[in-house]
Each structure stands twice: as C-alpha cells, then as structure tokens.
Amino acid sequence: MADKSELQYTAEHEWVLVDGDTATIGITAYAAEKLGDVVFVELPAVGSDVASGTVVGEIESTKSVGELFAPINGTVTEINDAVVDSPELVNSDPFGEGWLIKVSFTELPSFLSYAEYSALVGE
C-alpha cells in the first residue's frame, strides 16, 4: 500500500488511495484503535452503487459497532474477502492488507491531506 502521506482522508476516519478512476478505501489506524479488536466486517456487494456519505457496511468490534461510509460516489468493483474472513486484519494492517473496498468513480470529491487528518485526530 502507499505511504500514509500519499493517501487522502475523510473526517470519518477513512483513507482513500486513488489509482486512475478507482479508489481503494479503508479505515485509518486511529479508527481501528478506537474500535478495538475487530471481530466482524460486512461489506457491500460487488456491483453495488454507493453514494458519498451513505452507509455501505459495518465494522463490529469487541467494544462497539461502527458504520462504514462511502467517501465517494461510484460502483463497488472489489471487496476485500480476506477482511471478511479475518476481520483482525483491520487492526493489524489497516493501511495494507486491511483495506475494505474498491470503488470506480467519475468525480473525485475533496479529501483531507495527511497533515489535515493528523491535525484532526491530534497525531
């Protein structure tokens, strides 16, 4: 996966890696740490249309249940089956093997830079 400073971020603690017209999306280490040990991940079906700001999945931990929001409008082209089978990947490697979905898009919204996100979470 790309260096954290090369990623873009949302205020909902998601990271976005843009490659052409595809965005790979995951949750940040900050979010994974706040959630605690992730025990279940539900992701949208491949081919689903997603709208920015809407709930597209769920992440359950030993502490709470969190919602996964789409940070972008588009169509889900791939989901990370490894995370569904081994939810702990979200905690152990949130910026790598713990990615969640890939979405094809036509328009890229404005995201936070690494510096802006770091300031938001006080890192």
Distance CA 17, CA 33 (A): 20
Whether 44 shows a pLDDT value over 70: the answer reads: yes
Q: What is the length of the chain? A: 123
DSSP 8-class letter at 112: B
Residue type, 42: E
Tokens 């709208």 found at: 51
Whether 13 shows a pLDDT value over 90: the answer reads: yes
pLDDT tens-place string over residues 94-121: 999 999 999 999 999 999 999 999 999 9
pLDDT of residue 59: 96
Q: Could you tell me if 72 and 23 are in contact, meaning their C-beta atoms sit under 8 angstroms apart?
A: yes
Whether 2 shows a pLDDT value over 90: the answer reads: no
Whether 5 shows a pLDDT value over 90: the answer reads: no
pLDDT of residue 88: 96
Q: Both ends of the chain: CA-CA distance in Å?
A: 21
Distance CA 7, CA 16 (A): 6
Which domains, ranges and CATH numbers included, belong to the chain? 7-107 (2.40.50.100)
Whether 86 shows a pLDDT value over 80: the answer reads: yes
Whether 61 shows a pLDDT value over 90: the answer reads: yes
Tokens 């995951």 found at: 26
Whether 85 shows a pLDDT value over 90: the answer reads: yes
Whether 123 shows a pLDDT value over 90: the answer reads: no
Whether 64 shows a pLDDT value over 80: the answer reads: yes
